Amino acid sequence: MRIYTLSKRDTRAIINDIAKTWPVNLDFTNFSQVKVIEIDTRKNLLLFPDLGVVKVGDLLLPFLKSTETLSKFPHIEVDLGAVPHICNGADVMRPGIVKSESFRKGDVVVVHESRYKKFIAVGIALVDESDMERMSRGVVVKNKHYIGDRFWEAHKRLVV
């Protein structure tokens, strides 16, 4: 694991990618010190002053500690039986979904549990919401970042 500060040019490129792909408008006025935690060659955790970004290859996802940003994304609510599986890296399956917000195939989707509404995972929708409603089983969201994964543990080590 390597930690370094991102150059301003690379930071602007990341901000432009976020602006193009995320359904939220974020204020990036103070972005001079962006820390990068390099997990491996294709996985990084980018820590802006008020935002965390998980970078997996070319894919940019909100970090699970960025709750204000996460609340602006489409979300799926899962029952308590699905939580331990999702927190171990399993994809989000149709039988465990209790409620959902409008999303399309390929969208970044946030997953939260039904009791306390805590965010537990971020992934990519594999089907449209309308198709999901007609499904009785199958994978709905490909899990890309979840509580307890390598990004989560790297952040815990850095903060503590």
Cβ–Cβ < 8 Å for 138, 94: yes
CA–CA distances in Å: residue 70 to residues 4, 28, 79, 102, 137: 25, 16, 19, 15, 26
Report the C-alpha gap between 20 and 25 in whole angstroms: 10
pLDDT of residue 30: 63
Domain end (from 23, 47, 64): 64
Assigned domain for 151 exists: no
The CATH number of whichever domain residue 53 belongs to comes to 3.10.450
pLDDT of residue 31: 66
Lowest-pLDDT range, 10-14, 95-99, 141-145?
Answer: 10-14
Assigned domain for 152 exists: no
Residue 130 binned pLDDT confidence (cut-offs 50, 70, 90): very high
Assigned domain for 75 exists: yes
For the chain, give the mean pLDDT: 92
53-108 pLDDT per residue, tens = 999 999 999 999 999 999 999 999 999 999 999 999 999 999 999 999 999 999 99
Same domain? 125 vs 98: yes
pLDDT of residue 158: 81
Report the C-alpha gap between 111 and 34 in whole angstroms: 26
Q: Which two tokens stand for residue 7?
A: 């150059």
In this predicted structure, the answer to whether residue 148 has a pLDDT above a threshold of 70 is: yes
Structural domains of the chain, count: 2
Same domain? 16 vs 74: no
Same domain? 59 vs 86: no
Cβ–Cβ < 8 Å for 33, 25: no
Same domain? 24 vs 52: yes
Same domain? 58 vs 85: no
Same domain? 77 vs 122: yes
Mean per-residue pLDDT, 49-56: 91
Same domain? 80 vs 136: yes
Same domain? 74 vs 58: no
Cβ–Cβ < 8 Å for 15, 101: no
Residues, the chain = 160
